[in-house]
Structures are given as C-alpha cells and as structure tokens.
Amino acid sequence: MNLSLLSRAHAAEPQACHRLSRQKRNGLTALAGLLLAASPASVSAEGSWNSSVSGIADLFTSRRWQDNNTDAVKSAIYLRDCRVDAAGTAPNYVGVELRRNRVAAPDVSYGTKDLSACGNRPDLGWFGVDSAEWGDQVSGQYFFRFKLAAAWVRLWSNPVSARY
C-alpha cells in the first residue's frame, strides 16, 4: 500500500468538513465573549480604598465602608511591609478580622485571618506582602479590626488596601 497516495488523497478532501462555517465560528466567538464578560475575574469591585497604619495598637479598627453587594467581588485586605516597632522587626502575629457594623445589635464577625507574613523577613520566608479574602458579603457597613500579639505591640504598614 502506498502511503504517499493516501496522504495525497486525504489532502485532496474538501477542507470545508474540517473547518467551522463562518456563521458557527462567529457564534462561538460571541459566546466566548459573553462567557468572559460574565466571569468573576472580569467583574470590577464595587469599591476599594488605600491607606496606611502607623503605630496602631491591638484591636484598632479601620475606617468604615458601605458595601451594597452590587457585585460578586470578595471582600479583601492587602498589607505590605509591616513592622511592629521602631527597630523594624517582623510581626509574630497580625490578625485582621472583617466585621459588619450593626447599630442596635452586636457587630457580625466574619472571622480573623492571619496576615503575619506582611513583615519583610526573607530569613523566615516573609517577603513583605500578605492578603486575605472573606468572600462576597451581604449589603452593610463594614470595617476591619486588627488583632496583634500583645497589648504593647504596635503595627505599621504602608500601604493597607481594601476591596469590596
């Protein structure tokens, strides 16, 4: 059997059966565009803010913000270059708690995340950045509460960024 004849015969087949029609191709392109537009990665955050903290103590609370839950973005915080004293030592514990403010009832806690890796200590595997997410939250007024290793510990971080 001559394989070169088979190859030539296969090459001579109409290519239309191997290609999508222009109409199907355009439909698939439009569908892919719709799927990408609806993906969570392409959804922009309802809001965000940037700030810094300088010498804050245990249980310090951040500014409050209103999340109207008009998107599917997860509430998150980002800390960079943390230090706990003037000598610049890396923190041994930095916890950040997301809370929803309620006027006539106790605040709702969504849990505390450990962001201790925000200190710049390559010897410990910390490279100056840490972040945490809490998921998409219901509509309400929110804030972060910082939890440090001890009452005497002070925290510096620049920047502190949030998205919601």
Q: 70 and 36: one domain?
A: no
Structural domain count of the chain: 2
Predicted pLDDT of residue 103: 92
In the 3-class helix/strand/coil scheme, how is the chain assigned residue by residue?
CCHHHHHHHHHCCCHHHHCCCHHHHHHHHHHHHHHHHHCHHHCCCCCEEEEEEEEECCCCECCCEEECCCCCCCEEEEEECEECCCCCCCCCCEEEEEEEECCCCCCEEEEEEECHHHEEEHHHCEECEEEEEEECCCCEEEEEEEEECCCCCCEEEEEEEEEC
The CATH number assigned to the domain holding 159 equals: 2.60.120
Q: 35 and 52: one domain?
A: no
Q: 56 and 127: one domain?
A: yes
Tell me the residue range of the domain where 23 lies: 3-41
Predicted pLDDT of residue 150: 82
Q: 78 and 19: one domain?
A: no
Predicted pLDDT of residue 151: 83
User: pLDDT 10s per residue in the chain (164 long)?
Assistant: 444 444 444 444 444 444 445 554 444 444 444 333 333 333 578 999 999 999 999 999 999 999 999 999 999 999 988 887 744 555 578 999 999 999 999 999 999 999 988 876 666 665 678 999 999 999 999 999 999 988 888 999 999 999 99
